[in-house]
Amino acid sequence: MIDEFQGNLGKYRLTQTRAGDWTLYSEFFDENCHSLEGSVQETEAIYIQGTELKSQLEFAQRDHRPLSILEVGFGAGVGASRACHFAQSIPDQEVYFYSLELDAELVRYTMTNGPLASTFSNFKIARSADNWEVSAKNFHLHILIADARHSIRQLKEAKNFKFDAFFHDPFGPQKNPTLWTVEIFRDLKSLAYPHSLLSTYSAAIGIRKALMEAEWAVEDRPGFGIKKSSTRARPSGTMDPALIQKLQRSPILALHEHPGLLDGKK
């Protein structure tokens, strides 16, 4: 297993977490893809449980359609791996997992040389310049290689994409602000069902304000590891008045997209 490689955006280094599993450190963003407390545990807590994936499955089954998940930030591939594990527990249900990533070399490493490569080794893989399509039985993974903002808008313009769950997992807003803006969250909302849930590890006030301005109903959830809180959002609904007051009292502003923002990824 290769423990360091050169990506399109600087070097990446394999890092073992305190739980004994693995994540990747990005030299470009000076940040790990996951909590050093444990990448699998964090993914389960923030994304699988955070989006109430079992409940989302019930909506898909009621409507006789596939369960659909959109991940912003493929990174080390843990989200896709855990979604695949979830799909294996429901073999009669089709699961479509779309993941957005800018760095093609990061995806290539994760799929071929990283610690999770064995997860996908028996999958049928089709690769082009712009994406990867990976399928095994009832799990279908589509990795779109481009600026996530462009990919989201392409999905929106296609008008036939809706997602039950959103794993919002870019590098942090201080390092990669472009994927935490009002505009991004507004575009994601256009891809949501009424029952959909968006979950992210960040509890930053500016991020929650961006979600509110994009007309998501924001909730406070327990965080993972050293983080006390994480954030979940619904396309509609009421918010805790105490949380609204807390956000309104803060002078921190919601992020908006502008030409100076860094083209980001994860």
SS3 23: strand
The whole-chain average pLDDT of the chain stands at 93
Q: What is the pTM of this model?
A: 0.95
Rounded distance, CA 154 to CA 159, Å?
9
In angstroms, rounded to a whole number, what is the distance separating the alpha carbons of residues 117 and 108? 10
263: pLDDT confidence band, cut at 50, 70 and 90? very low
- Kindly state the tokens that stand for 81: 């791996």
* Residue 49 pLDDT: 98
Contact 16, 22 (CB under 8 A): yes
pLDDT at 264: 42
Cα–Cα distance for residue pair 224/73, rounded to 1 Å: 18
Burial class (CB in 10 A: 0-12, 13-18, 19+), 205: middle
Q: What is the pLDDT of residues 34-56, one digit of tens each?
A: 999 999 999 999 999 999 999 99
CATH class entry, domain 39-249: alpha beta
The pLDDT tens digits for 188-202 are 999 999 999 999 999
Q: Give me the residue spans of the domains in the chain.
A: 39-249
Is residue 205 within 8 Å of residue 248, measured between CB atoms? no
